[in-house]
Protein backbone atom coordinates (compact mmCIF):
# COMPACT_ATOMS: atom_id res chain seq x y z
CA UNK A 1 0.00 0.00 0.00
CA UNK A 2 1.55 3.30 -1.06
CA UNK A 3 1.25 6.24 1.32
CA UNK A 4 1.96 9.86 0.42
CA UNK A 5 4.44 11.86 2.48
CA UNK A 6 1.74 14.35 3.43
CA UNK A 7 -1.04 12.44 5.18
CA UNK A 8 -4.20 14.54 5.15
CA UNK A 9 -7.26 13.42 7.13
CA UNK A 10 -9.68 13.95 4.26
CA UNK A 11 -12.35 11.36 3.40
CA UNK A 12 -14.03 10.71 0.10
CA UNK A 13 -17.38 11.55 1.66
CA UNK A 14 -18.30 14.81 3.33
CA UNK A 15 -17.37 14.95 7.02
CA UNK A 16 -18.03 16.94 10.13
CA UNK A 17 -14.84 18.69 11.20
CA UNK A 18 -14.22 19.16 14.91
CA UNK A 19 -11.88 22.09 15.39
CA UNK A 20 -12.63 22.65 19.08
CA UNK A 21 -11.10 19.31 20.10
CA UNK A 22 -7.75 20.35 18.63
CA UNK A 23 -7.25 22.72 21.53
CA UNK A 24 -7.24 19.82 23.99
CA UNK A 25 -5.25 17.39 21.84
CA UNK A 26 -2.51 15.90 24.06
CA UNK A 27 0.95 17.24 23.34
CA UNK A 28 2.41 13.80 22.71
CA UNK A 29 -0.27 13.07 20.10
CA UNK A 30 0.27 16.43 18.44
CA UNK A 31 4.02 15.83 18.31
CA UNK A 32 3.49 12.40 16.77
CA UNK A 33 1.23 13.79 14.07
CA UNK A 34 3.63 16.64 13.31
CA UNK A 35 6.62 14.25 13.05
CA UNK A 36 4.76 12.20 10.47
CA UNK A 37 3.29 15.02 8.39
CA UNK A 38 -0.32 14.56 9.46
CA UNK A 39 -2.19 17.72 8.53
CA UNK A 40 -4.74 18.67 11.20
CA UNK A 41 -5.72 22.02 9.70
CA UNK A 42 -9.15 20.68 8.73
CA UNK A 43 -9.96 19.65 12.29
CA UNK A 44 -9.57 16.58 14.49
CA UNK A 45 -11.01 14.11 14.96
CA UNK A 46 -13.14 13.67 11.86
CA UNK A 47 -16.70 12.68 12.72
CA UNK A 48 -18.90 10.83 10.24
CA UNK A 49 -21.63 13.19 9.03
CA UNK A 50 -25.08 12.48 10.38
CA UNK A 51 -26.47 11.71 6.94
CA UNK A 52 -23.84 8.99 6.47
CA UNK A 53 -24.40 7.20 9.81
CA UNK A 54 -26.88 4.32 9.34
CA UNK A 55 -30.12 4.86 11.20
CA UNK A 56 -32.13 1.85 10.03
CA UNK A 57 -31.09 -1.68 10.86
CA UNK A 58 -31.27 -2.82 7.23
CA UNK A 59 -28.75 -0.10 6.31
CA UNK A 60 -26.44 -1.28 9.07
CA UNK A 61 -26.70 -4.92 7.97
CA UNK A 62 -25.65 -3.91 4.45
CA UNK A 63 -22.27 -2.64 5.66
CA UNK A 64 -19.58 -5.27 4.89
CA UNK A 65 -22.26 -7.90 4.28
CA UNK A 66 -20.27 -9.55 1.49
CA UNK A 67 -18.05 -12.59 1.90
CA UNK A 68 -14.52 -11.70 0.89
CA UNK A 69 -11.24 -13.66 0.72
CA UNK A 70 -9.17 -13.70 3.89
CA UNK A 71 -5.49 -14.70 4.07
CA UNK A 72 -4.34 -15.99 7.46
CA UNK A 73 -0.82 -14.56 7.53
CA UNK A 74 0.26 -16.63 10.52
CA UNK A 75 -0.70 -19.98 9.04
CA UNK A 76 2.42 -20.46 6.92
CA UNK A 77 4.85 -18.54 9.12
CA UNK A 78 8.00 -20.12 10.51
CA UNK A 79 6.87 -21.85 13.74
CA UNK A 80 10.16 -20.84 15.40
CA UNK A 81 9.72 -17.21 14.26
CA UNK A 82 13.45 -16.81 13.74
CA UNK A 83 13.18 -13.64 11.62
CA UNK A 84 11.10 -11.83 14.23
CA UNK A 85 12.44 -13.12 17.54
CA UNK A 86 16.01 -13.31 16.29
CA UNK A 87 15.97 -9.59 15.52
CA UNK A 88 14.57 -8.59 18.92
CA UNK A 89 16.79 -7.46 21.77
CA UNK A 90 14.57 -9.22 24.28
CA UNK A 91 11.39 -11.30 24.34
CA UNK A 92 9.48 -11.07 27.62
CA UNK A 93 6.57 -13.39 28.37
CA UNK A 94 4.42 -11.47 30.86
CA UNK A 95 2.48 -14.55 32.01
CA UNK A 96 2.78 -18.24 31.26
CA UNK A 97 0.36 -18.35 28.34
CA UNK A 98 -0.92 -14.85 27.52
CA UNK A 99 0.95 -11.65 26.79
CA UNK A 100 4.42 -11.14 25.32
CA UNK A 101 6.51 -7.99 25.03
CA UNK A 102 8.99 -7.58 22.18
CA UNK A 103 11.92 -5.24 22.88
CA UNK A 104 14.15 -3.58 20.31
CA UNK A 105 12.03 -3.74 17.16
CA UNK A 106 10.15 -0.96 15.36
CA UNK A 107 6.83 -2.04 13.88
CA UNK A 108 7.34 0.41 11.04
CA UNK A 109 10.41 -1.51 9.87
CA UNK A 110 9.14 -5.11 9.87
CA UNK A 111 9.59 -7.23 6.77
CA UNK A 112 6.68 -9.25 5.40
CA UNK A 113 8.23 -12.40 6.88
CA UNK A 114 8.40 -10.77 10.29
CA UNK A 115 4.79 -9.59 9.96
CA UNK A 116 3.72 -13.18 9.23
CA UNK A 117 5.64 -14.45 12.24
CA UNK A 118 4.18 -11.70 14.40
CA UNK A 119 0.68 -12.77 13.32
CA UNK A 120 1.50 -16.31 14.46
CA UNK A 121 2.97 -15.08 17.74
CA UNK A 122 -0.22 -13.08 18.40
CA UNK A 123 -2.30 -16.17 17.57
CA UNK A 124 -0.31 -18.16 20.14
CA UNK A 125 0.14 -15.53 22.88
CA UNK A 126 -3.18 -13.65 22.37
CA UNK A 127 -1.65 -10.16 22.75
CA UNK A 128 1.83 -8.79 21.96
CA UNK A 129 3.27 -5.46 23.11
CA UNK A 130 5.83 -3.05 21.66
CA UNK A 131 7.00 -0.02 23.67
CA UNK A 132 8.89 3.04 22.45
CA UNK A 133 7.42 2.95 18.96
CA UNK A 134 7.91 5.93 16.65
CA UNK A 135 4.93 4.78 14.61
CA UNK A 136 3.13 6.92 12.09
CA UNK A 137 -0.62 6.51 11.49
CA UNK A 138 0.31 5.76 7.89
CA UNK A 139 2.42 2.74 8.86
CA UNK A 140 -0.16 1.57 11.37
CA UNK A 141 -2.82 1.51 8.65
CA UNK A 142 -0.46 -0.19 6.21
CA UNK A 143 0.20 -2.95 8.73
CA UNK A 144 -3.53 -3.39 9.28
CA UNK A 145 -4.13 -3.83 5.56
CA UNK A 146 -1.43 -6.50 5.47
CA UNK A 147 -3.31 -8.59 8.04
CA UNK A 148 -6.79 -8.29 6.57
CA UNK A 149 -9.61 -6.07 5.41
CA UNK A 150 -9.47 -2.95 7.56
CA UNK A 151 -12.72 -2.08 9.30
CA UNK A 152 -14.11 1.43 8.78
CA UNK A 153 -16.29 2.20 11.78
CA UNK A 154 -19.58 3.80 10.80
CA UNK A 155 -19.92 5.84 14.00
CA UNK A 156 -16.47 6.32 15.56
CA UNK A 157 -14.44 9.53 15.32
CA UNK A 158 -11.45 8.92 13.09
CA UNK A 159 -8.28 10.31 11.65
CA UNK A 160 -9.06 8.82 8.25
CA UNK A 161 -11.08 5.84 7.08
CA UNK A 162 -9.71 2.80 8.92
CA UNK A 163 -8.01 4.69 11.76
CA UNK A 164 -10.35 5.14 14.72
CA UNK A 165 -9.50 7.60 17.47
CA UNK A 166 -9.44 6.16 21.01
CA UNK A 167 -9.66 9.20 23.29
CA UNK A 168 -11.65 8.86 26.50
CA UNK A 169 -11.64 12.56 27.37
CA UNK A 170 -13.08 13.43 23.97
CA UNK A 171 -15.80 10.79 24.42
CA UNK A 172 -16.65 12.18 27.87
CA UNK A 173 -17.05 15.68 26.49
CA UNK A 174 -19.32 14.26 23.80
CA UNK A 175 -21.74 12.42 26.05
CA UNK A 176 -20.09 9.28 27.47
CA UNK A 177 -20.71 9.60 31.24
CA UNK A 178 -17.41 8.16 32.48
CA UNK A 179 -16.91 8.87 36.20
CA UNK A 180 -15.37 7.12 39.20
CA UNK A 181 -18.78 5.70 40.16
CA UNK A 182 -19.72 4.96 36.56
CA UNK A 183 -16.50 3.53 35.16
CA UNK A 184 -17.75 0.24 33.66
CA UNK A 185 -19.03 1.64 30.37
CA UNK A 186 -17.62 2.22 26.90
CA UNK A 187 -14.32 0.36 26.54
CA UNK A 188 -14.11 -0.08 30.33
CA UNK A 189 -16.05 -3.33 30.30
CA UNK A 190 -15.20 -6.84 29.15
CA UNK A 191 -15.77 -7.06 25.42
CA UNK A 192 -14.50 -8.35 22.09
CA UNK A 193 -14.46 -6.05 19.08
CA UNK A 194 -16.96 -6.32 16.23
CA UNK A 195 -18.45 -9.74 16.94
CA UNK A 196 -21.57 -8.77 14.97
CA UNK A 197 -19.69 -8.71 11.66
CA UNK A 198 -20.21 -11.47 9.11
CA UNK A 199 -16.42 -11.78 9.25
CA UNK A 200 -15.57 -10.47 12.73
CA UNK A 201 -12.39 -8.79 13.89
CA UNK A 202 -9.10 -10.64 13.78
CA UNK A 203 -6.08 -8.55 14.76
CA UNK A 204 -6.57 -5.16 16.42
CA UNK A 205 -3.65 -2.75 16.79
CA UNK A 206 -4.01 0.05 19.34
CA UNK A 207 -1.15 2.54 19.45
CA UNK A 208 -1.34 4.83 22.47
CA UNK A 209 0.77 7.94 21.94
CA UNK A 210 -0.44 9.70 25.11
CA UNK A 211 -0.19 7.66 28.31
CA UNK A 212 -0.94 8.51 31.95
CA UNK A 213 2.06 8.50 34.29
CA UNK A 214 0.12 6.12 36.56
CA UNK A 215 -2.82 3.90 35.58
CA UNK A 216 -4.74 3.62 32.35
CA UNK A 217 -3.92 -0.08 32.04
CA UNK A 218 -5.72 -2.59 29.82
CA UNK A 219 -6.52 -6.20 30.72
CA UNK A 220 -6.85 -9.12 28.29
CA UNK A 221 -8.20 -12.63 28.93
CA UNK A 222 -7.51 -15.73 26.85
CA UNK A 223 -10.30 -17.61 25.10
CA UNK A 224 -7.99 -20.62 24.74
CA UNK A 225 -7.48 -20.85 28.49
CA UNK A 226 -11.16 -20.16 29.17
CA UNK A 227 -12.06 -23.21 27.08
CA UNK A 228 -9.53 -25.34 28.95
CA UNK A 229 -11.11 -24.30 32.27
CA UNK A 230 -14.28 -26.20 31.29
CA UNK A 231 -14.89 -29.85 32.11
CA UNK A 232 -14.65 -32.33 29.20
CA UNK A 233 -18.39 -32.94 29.44
CA UNK A 234 -19.17 -29.22 29.27
CA UNK A 235 -16.73 -28.80 26.38
CA UNK A 236 -18.51 -31.59 24.51
CA UNK A 237 -21.86 -29.91 25.20
CA UNK A 238 -20.66 -26.56 23.78
CA UNK A 239 -18.65 -27.88 20.82
CA UNK A 240 -20.60 -27.21 17.64
CA UNK A 241 -23.19 -24.93 19.23
CA UNK A 242 -23.80 -21.39 18.04
CA UNK A 243 -24.67 -18.16 19.80
CA UNK A 244 -26.18 -14.85 18.69
CA UNK A 245 -23.83 -11.85 18.76
CA UNK A 246 -25.07 -8.29 18.47
CA UNK A 247 -23.66 -4.89 17.58
CA UNK A 248 -22.68 -2.31 20.18
CA UNK A 249 -24.81 0.31 18.41
CA UNK A 250 -28.56 0.08 17.94
CA UNK A 251 -30.77 1.14 15.06
CA UNK A 252 -34.42 1.55 14.06
CA UNK A 253 -36.68 -0.90 12.28
CA UNK A 254 -37.71 0.88 9.08
CA UNK A 255 -41.06 -0.93 8.98
CA UNK A 256 -41.84 -0.36 12.66
CA UNK A 257 -39.79 2.58 13.98
CA UNK A 258 -41.64 2.64 17.32
CA UNK A 259 -40.82 -0.97 18.10
CA UNK A 260 -37.66 -0.08 20.02
CA UNK A 261 -33.93 -0.46 19.41
CA UNK A 262 -32.79 -3.03 16.86
CA UNK A 263 -29.28 -4.47 16.65
CA UNK A 264 -27.28 -6.22 13.98
CA UNK A 265 -27.30 -9.88 15.04
CA UNK A 266 -25.20 -12.73 13.66
CA UNK A 267 -24.86 -16.40 14.57
CA UNK A 268 -21.31 -17.68 15.12
CA UNK A 269 -19.85 -20.81 16.77
CA UNK A 270 -19.57 -20.43 20.51
CA UNK A 271 -16.40 -22.51 20.32
CA UNK A 272 -14.29 -21.46 17.35
CA UNK A 273 -11.08 -22.84 15.91
CA UNK A 274 -8.19 -20.49 15.17
CA UNK A 275 -6.94 -21.11 11.60
CA UNK A 276 -3.25 -20.53 12.46
CA UNK A 277 -2.91 -22.53 15.68
CA UNK A 278 -5.76 -24.99 15.20
CA UNK A 279 -6.69 -24.47 18.87
CA UNK A 280 -10.22 -24.18 20.24
CA UNK A 281 -11.27 -20.93 21.89
CA UNK A 282 -14.34 -19.93 23.90
CA UNK A 283 -15.89 -17.10 21.90
CA UNK A 284 -18.30 -15.17 24.12
CA UNK A 285 -18.34 -11.80 25.86
CA UNK A 286 -20.76 -10.21 28.30
CA UNK A 287 -21.27 -7.04 26.28
CA UNK A 288 -22.39 -8.57 23.00
CA UNK A 289 -23.25 -12.27 23.28
CA UNK A 290 -27.05 -12.43 23.51
CA UNK A 291 -28.11 -16.08 23.68
CA UNK A 292 -27.13 -19.63 22.79
CA UNK A 293 -29.05 -21.03 19.83
CA UNK A 294 -31.27 -24.00 20.70
CA UNK A 295 -31.50 -23.40 24.45
CA UNK A 296 -34.45 -22.06 26.39
CA UNK A 297 -33.96 -18.42 27.49
CA UNK A 298 -33.29 -19.28 31.14
CA UNK A 299 -30.93 -22.10 30.16
CA UNK A 300 -29.01 -19.78 27.84
CA UNK A 301 -28.82 -17.04 30.47
CA UNK A 302 -27.47 -19.44 33.10
CA UNK A 303 -24.85 -20.97 30.81
CA UNK A 304 -23.67 -17.63 29.43
CA UNK A 305 -23.37 -16.10 32.90
CA UNK A 306 -21.10 -18.97 33.89
CA UNK A 307 -19.00 -18.61 30.73
CA UNK A 308 -18.64 -14.83 31.17
CA UNK A 309 -17.36 -15.49 34.68
CA UNK A 310 -14.65 -17.81 33.38
CA UNK A 311 -13.03 -14.86 31.59
CA UNK A 312 -13.69 -12.28 34.27
CA UNK A 313 -12.87 -14.17 37.49
CA UNK A 314 -9.80 -16.26 36.61
CA UNK A 315 -6.75 -14.07 37.03
CA UNK A 316 -4.45 -16.84 35.79
CA UNK A 317 -5.84 -16.51 32.26
CA UNK A 318 -5.48 -12.71 32.21
CA UNK A 319 -2.68 -10.24 31.59
CA UNK A 320 -2.75 -6.62 32.77
CA UNK A 321 -0.54 -4.21 30.86
CA UNK A 322 0.68 -0.72 31.68
CA UNK A 323 1.35 1.34 28.57
CA UNK A 324 4.33 3.33 29.89
CA UNK A 325 7.08 4.25 27.45
CA UNK A 326 10.56 5.15 28.74
CA UNK A 327 11.58 7.20 25.71
CA UNK A 328 8.43 9.29 25.60
CA UNK A 329 7.24 7.59 22.42
CA UNK A 330 4.09 5.55 21.97
CA UNK A 331 3.30 1.96 22.91
CA UNK A 332 1.46 -0.57 20.75
CA UNK A 333 -0.69 -3.50 21.82
CA UNK A 334 -1.66 -5.94 19.08
CA UNK A 335 -4.18 -8.65 19.94
CA UNK A 336 -6.39 -11.26 18.33
CA UNK A 337 -10.11 -10.73 18.96
CA UNK A 338 -10.91 -14.30 17.91
CA UNK A 339 -9.30 -15.65 21.08
CA UNK A 340 -9.69 -12.90 23.67
CA UNK A 341 -11.66 -10.32 25.59
CA UNK A 342 -10.26 -7.02 26.88
CA UNK A 343 -11.11 -4.26 29.30
CA UNK A 344 -9.67 -0.72 29.50
CA UNK A 345 -9.22 0.35 33.13
CA UNK A 346 -10.48 3.86 33.92
CA UNK A 347 -8.44 4.37 37.10
CA UNK A 348 -6.68 7.51 35.85
CA UNK A 349 -10.17 9.11 35.73
CA UNK A 350 -9.24 11.45 32.89
CA UNK A 351 -6.81 13.42 35.09
CA UNK A 352 -4.04 12.67 32.61
CA UNK A 353 -4.18 12.24 28.85
CA UNK A 354 -4.86 8.86 27.27
CA UNK A 355 -5.08 9.04 23.49
CA UNK A 356 -4.39 6.63 20.68
CA UNK A 357 -5.22 5.39 17.21
CA UNK A 358 -6.71 1.98 16.47
CA UNK A 359 -6.72 -0.15 13.32
CA UNK A 360 -8.70 -3.40 13.18
CA UNK A 361 -8.24 -6.08 10.53
CA UNK A 362 -11.25 -8.31 9.90
CA UNK A 363 -10.67 -12.05 9.63
CA UNK A 364 -12.42 -15.21 8.44
CA UNK A 365 -16.00 -16.35 8.82
CA UNK A 366 -15.85 -18.06 12.26
CA UNK A 367 -15.76 -21.84 12.12
CA UNK A 368 -15.53 -24.84 14.43
CA UNK A 369 -13.38 -27.83 13.46
CA UNK A 370 -14.44 -30.89 15.44
CA UNK A 371 -10.93 -32.32 15.01
CA UNK A 372 -9.19 -29.30 16.50
CA UNK A 373 -7.59 -29.46 19.94
CA UNK A 374 -7.55 -27.22 22.96
CA UNK A 375 -4.39 -25.22 23.69
CA UNK A 376 -3.31 -27.34 26.64
CA UNK A 377 -4.06 -30.56 24.78
CA UNK A 378 -1.99 -29.40 21.79
CA UNK A 379 0.91 -28.34 24.03
CA UNK A 380 0.79 -31.50 26.12
CA UNK A 381 0.00 -29.62 29.35
CA UNK A 382 -1.79 -31.15 32.31
CA UNK A 383 -5.24 -29.94 33.34
CA UNK A 384 -4.61 -31.00 36.95
Rounded to an integer, what distance in angstroms lies between the CA atom of residue 263 and that of residue 265? 6
Nearest to 358 by CA among 233, 231, 194: 194
pLDDT at 262: 87
Does residue 344 belong to any structural domain of this protein?
yes
Does residue 6 belong to any structural domain of this protein?
no
The three-state secondary structure class of 7 is strand
Could you tell me the CA-to-CA distances from 158 to 14, 43, 139, 166, 359 in Å, in that order?
13, 11, 16, 9, 10
Are 203 and 367 spatial neighbours (Cβ–Cβ below 8 Å)?
Answer: no
Could you tell me the CA-to-CA distances from 134 to 25, 36, 71, 101 in Å, in that order?
18, 9, 28, 16
Q: What is the CATH number of the domain that holds 199?
A: 3.60.130.10
Does residue 315 belong to any structural domain of this protein?
yes
pLDDT at 2: 38
71: number of Cβ within 10 Å: 14
Please give the residue range of the domain that contains residue 276: 29-37+51-379
Q: Per-10-residue mean pLDDT for the chain, 384 residues long?
A: 38 51 85 92 82 83 88 96 98 96 97 98 98 96 96 85 84 64 65 92 96 91 98 97 92 83 92 98 95 97 98 96 89 98 84 90 97 96 86
Does residue 323 belong to any structural domain of this protein?
yes
Does residue 12 belong to any structural domain of this protein?
no
Does residue 10 belong to any structural domain of this protein?
no
Nearest to 263 by CA among 273, 253, 271: 253
Does residue 141 belong to any structural domain of this protein?
yes
Task: Give the number of domains in the chain.
Answer: 1
Does residue 117 belong to any structural domain of this protein?
yes
132: number of Cβ within 10 Å: 17
pLDDT at 10: 36
Amino acid sequence: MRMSRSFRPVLKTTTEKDTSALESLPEAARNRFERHNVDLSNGYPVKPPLDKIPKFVDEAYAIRDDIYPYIERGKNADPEKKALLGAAKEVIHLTKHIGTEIVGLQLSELTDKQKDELALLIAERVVVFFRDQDLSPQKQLELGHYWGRVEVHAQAPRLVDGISVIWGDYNRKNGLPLTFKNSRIGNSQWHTDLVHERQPAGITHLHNDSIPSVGGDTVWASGYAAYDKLSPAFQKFLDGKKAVYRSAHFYVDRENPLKGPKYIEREHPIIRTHPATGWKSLFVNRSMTVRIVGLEPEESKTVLEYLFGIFEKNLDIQVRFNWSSKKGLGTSAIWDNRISQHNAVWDHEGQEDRHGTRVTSLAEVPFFDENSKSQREALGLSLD
